[in-house]
Amino acid sequence: MIMAGLPADESLIGRILGHYRILDRLGTGGMGVVWLAEDLQLRRRVALKMLREDVARSPEKLARFEREAKAVAALNHPNIVTIHAIEEIEGVRFLAMEYVEGRTLDELIPPGGFPLPEFLRIAMPVAEALAAAHARGILHRDLKPGNIMVGPDARVKVLDFGLAKLQPGDATAIYGRELQSTLTQEGSVVGTLQYMSPEQLQLKHIDHRSDLFSLGIVLYEMATGDLPFRGESAAQVISSVLRDQPRRLDDLEARLPPEIADTVERCLEKDVAKRPGSAAEVRDRLARLVRAHETGQLHAGASRLRRLVNRVRRHTRPAALVAAGA
């Protein structure tokens, strides 16, 4: 990968760009390379997100980058990464952002999922971050465990709100072509395949409820250690997201309270109208569960018989409606 005017490999380490000293390479994203740097003026560590050369030279891609900066800068929340500055130094455009120490959630999810206390401790701030962003009219569009950081102090931060709502036509059709599991390249559907909503995959209009579907996938994986929609190819994953109904969490894990299973099940509804009305609603439900857990009032899932009865009730139409031919 080539950045505008600068190498993208480790030879950049140790160089000074303006008032930033490059310390290490943190990773690569769809827009460019992210570096760990020291702000020599303020004596703090920051993350510098530098644009690839092809992005910096494209008016359309550069406009997307600037939208990202403005979107993130508008969010001032303890669970959302902070943007410090939009910079252009020596012809290089980049964002100077808060450096978040810790590990990404995808590195932390254990086989079988988190115990209930840890699940709630992480789920609550993620929903809170989404609620704060949605209140400002900002969508994430790429929520996944790799974009959620858990620090050594247990603080949770959601990263990369920079994929905030693209204009119609920015994504190209994804069917009838070879797909990659991660579709974050420019000119492709924005988002990570396994965590995308049905409406994203179908290139339909999306709103905040698309993020809620992705949140439901993240919560499902946190609870079980497995993804609800899987496949051996991109096409199979897409088919699974569009058609499959995952098993309820309290069917899979008797240790999980039915209230959590209900919340996740609603987030994963294919019909957007059946999902929760807002991230704030999900946050409030999780907050009630946290309080119930802290007071000992939150109990594990119902017995196998009770779960079977509940399943039958959910999928059985009332007798009066059946008799009436409704």
Which of residues 79, 98, 117 is at a domain's end?
98
pLDDT band at 9 (very low <50, low <70, confident <90, very high): low
Q: Provide the number of structural domains found in the chain.
A: 2
Query: What CATH number does residue 109 fall under?
Result: 1.10.510.10
Q: Parallel, antiparallel, or unpaired for β 44-51 and 32-39?
A: antiparallel
Residues 135, 75 within the same domain: no
Alpha helix stretches (DSSP H) within 161-303: 198-201, 208-224, 234-243, 249-252, 258-267, 279-294
- Dist CA 75 CA 79 (whole Å): 10
Host domain of residue 126: 103-312
Residues 127, 50 within the same domain: no
Residue 322 is assigned to a structural domain of this protein: no
The residue-averaged pLDDT of 301-315 equals: 51
CB 37 within 8 A of CB 22: yes
The residue-averaged pLDDT of 158-174 equals: 51
Residues 54, 183 within the same domain: no
Q: Which residue has the higher pLDDT, 177 or 302?
A: 302
- Dist CA 165 CA 141 (whole Å): 7
- Residue 95, pLDDT > 50, answer yes
Nearest to 81 by CA among 34, 17, 121: 34
Query: What CATH number does residue 62 fall under?
Result: 3.30.200.20
Residue with tokens 């993620």: 126
Residue 4 is assigned to a structural domain of this protein: no
- Dist CA 52 CA 43 (whole Å): 27
Residue 57 is assigned to a structural domain of this protein: yes
Residues 279, 297 within the same domain: yes
Q: What is the pLDDT of residues 106-146, one digit of tens each?
A: 999 999 999 999 999 999 999 999 999 999 888 898 899 99
Catalytic residues: 142
pLDDT at residue number 64: 74
- Dist CA 195 CA 146 (whole Å): 11
Which of residues 41, 75, 98 is at a domain's end?
98
Which of residues 98, 128, 147 is at a domain's end?
98
Residue 78 is assigned to a structural domain of this protein: yes
Residues 135, 244 within the same domain: yes
Residues 171, 229 within the same domain: yes
Residue 27 is assigned to a structural domain of this protein: yes
Residue 2 is assigned to a structural domain of this protein: no
Residue 68 is assigned to a structural domain of this protein: yes
The residue-averaged pLDDT of 297-310 equals: 58
CB neighbours of residue 101 within 10 Å: 12
How far is residue 229 CA from its own chain's centroid? 15
Q: What is the pLDDT of residues 264-283, one digit of tens each?
A: 999 999 999 999 999 999 99
Residues 71, 191 within the same domain: no
Residue 325 is assigned to a structural domain of this protein: no
The residue-averaged pLDDT of 41-57 equals: 86
- Dist CA 36 CA 52 (whole Å): 17
pLDDT at residue number 12: 84
Residues 169, 248 within the same domain: yes
Residues 113, 234 within the same domain: yes
Specify the pTM. Answer: 0.81
- Residue 224, pLDDT > 70, answer yes
pLDDT at residue number 310: 53
Nearest to 259 by CA among 300, 215, 213, 294: 300
300: Cβ contacts below 8 Å, ≥ 6 apart: 116, 254, 255, 256, 257
